[in-house]
Amino acid sequence: MMTPFLLSKDNIELQFATNHLGHFLLTHLLLDNMKKTARKSKIEGRIVNVSSEAHRITYPEGIRFDNINDEKQYNKYQAYGQSKLANILHANELTKHLKEEGAEVTANSLHPGLISTNLFRHVFTPPSFAQGFVSKLSSLLMKNVQQGAATTCYVALHPQVK
């Protein structure tokens, strides 16, 4: 989250590769099996894309498909936002196609809430007093890891989300 500019092994900006492309590929590799399983079992399949409210903090044009790897224009906050926006758009488009197809699989995206993890380690560079202060404050104001995971589990399992 909000890393300095780096490229993945496949030469794609790391946040976009990690936060979106890996999940996109995994989803599509499993999708046919999910459809078959849902059809046979009569149990709805669910795809959950974890996004973030940070999807609102992106480049002015949204996702820079033509400039994903442009280090000169890279902004770690906007790059993170575009990767999370991509997760939402993917879930929305996938749901539309699955409904048209009549598949018993749904795709959702969610913001799990602010969770006290080390994800914020790149926000304050170099590390500072502010980072230590935010770390202490986060343990009081943010969800713990189990509470954050509960949001995703709810979307994945609860009947009201069908």
Indicate if 59 belongs to the active site: no
Nearest alpha-carbon partner for 20 in 75, 64, 84, 79: 84
Choose, from 74, 77, 80, 154, the residue flagged as catalytic.
74
Residue 116 CA: distances (Å) to CA of 41, 54, 131, 147, 153 = 38, 16, 13, 10, 18
Q: Which residues are catalytic?
A: 74
